[in-house]
């Protein structure tokens, strides 16, 4: 499908005379001339460094807070209005607030990423911790598990599927807020290149920047899925074993 789309795009735009919709050939030429190789180090690398720092910090903060709130009902009830309030604020609209409070530097962009990524990670981690089977917890108590053993052998593995959902959603949000942050008072980064090319009416470079963002997001997603498969191999095997049992149980009920 991606190859088919590119082929259709190539031929459909081959004779384009629109200033704002250049041909795919012109976009690819601009991509090569713009990004290969100087801007890879001057703009792409700083963007990825900011994303890596902000995403890592938000993941640690979101997973830790989510697991704590997921197992502390009273604390979760007290924090729920606060969490729901900030959860539904679109991160891009808070960019001017971060600029006013923290100024225009790399720290502001990193904090902006942390703010955007934390909420999907936190909420999914909290849901994962709340969904732990009570029978498993009771069995751990009967077996004399310590508090650390209950967490490491029961709560953490049971929460991991939802945690990875939050981390994957947070990665997509992180790329979005990274670009938005770089469009506000930045002198480098992919978002800066896209905005600067739009301001100077260098439309092929603007499209090439969006193409670079799509490639970065696609590659980051591939890396994330590889890590998820390696970390969650036991979960996929468990689901594979349970599915035939569920199907057999459903057939028995139907009969």
Q: Mean pLDDT score of the chain, rounded to an integer?
A: 86
The pLDDT assigned to 221 comes to 93
The pLDDT assigned to 163 comes to 93
- What mean pLDDT do residues 128-134 have? 86
Residue 243 has pLDDT above 60, yes or no: no
- What mean pLDDT do residues 47-75 have? 92
Single out the residue of 165, 166, 160 nearest to residue 132, CA to CA.
160
What sign does the dihedral 91-94-99-101 (CA atoms) show? negative
Residues contacting 234, CB < 8 A, separation 6+: 157
The pLDDT assigned to 107 comes to 87
Domain coordinates of the chain in residue numbers? Answer: 43-232
- What angle is formed at CA 225 by the lines to CA 27 and CA 231, rounded to 5 degrees? 160
Q: Residues 168-204: pLDDT tens digits?
A: 999 999 999 999 888 887 788 888 888 999 888 989 9
Name the CATH superfamily housing domain 43-232: MetI-like (1.10.3720.10)
Q: Does residue 173 contact residue 117 with C-beta atoms inside 8 Å? A: yes
The pLDDT assigned to 245 comes to 53
Cα–Cα distance, 68 to 250 (Å, whole number): 37
Single out the residue of 213, 223, 196, 189 nearest to residue 112, CA to CA.
189
The pLDDT assigned to 238 comes to 58
The pLDDT assigned to 13 comes to 87
The band of 240, judged by pLDDT with boundaries at 50, 70 and 90, is low
* pTM of the full structure: 0.84
The pLDDT assigned to 105 comes to 84
The band of 35, judged by pLDDT with boundaries at 50, 70 and 90, is confident
């Amino acid at each position: 499908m991606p190859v088919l789309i590119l082929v259709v795009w190539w031929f459909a735009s081959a004779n384009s005379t629109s200033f704002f919709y250049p041909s795919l050939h012109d976009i690819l030429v601009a991509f090569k001339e713009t990004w290969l190789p100087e801007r890879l180090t001057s703009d792409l690398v700083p963007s990825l460094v900011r994303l890596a720092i902000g995403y890592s910090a938000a993941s640690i903060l979101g997973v830790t807070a989510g697991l704590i709130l997921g197992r502390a009902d009273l604390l979760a009830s007290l924090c729920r209005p606060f969490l729901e309030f900030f959860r539904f604020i679109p991160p891009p609209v808070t960019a001017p607030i971060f600029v006013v409070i923290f100024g225009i530097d790399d720290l502001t962009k990193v904090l902006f990423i942390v703010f955007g990524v934390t909420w999907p990670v936190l909420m999914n981690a909290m849901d994962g911790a709340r969904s732990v089977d009570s029978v498993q917890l009771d069995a751990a108590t009967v077996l004399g598990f310590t508090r650390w053993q209950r967490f490491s052998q029961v709560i953490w593995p049971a929460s991991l599927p939802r945690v990875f959902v939050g981390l994957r959603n947070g990665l997509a949000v992180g790329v979005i807020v990274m670009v938005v942050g770089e469009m506000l008072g930045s002198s480098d980064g992919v978002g800066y290149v896209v905005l600067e090319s739009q301001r100077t009416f260098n439309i092929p470079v603007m499209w090439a920047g969006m193409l670079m963002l799509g490639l970065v997001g696609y590659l980051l997603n591939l890396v994330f899925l590889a890590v998820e498969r390696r970390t969650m191999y036991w979960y996929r095997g468990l689901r594979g074993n349970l599915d035939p049992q569920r199907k057999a149980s459903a057939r028995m009920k139907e009969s």
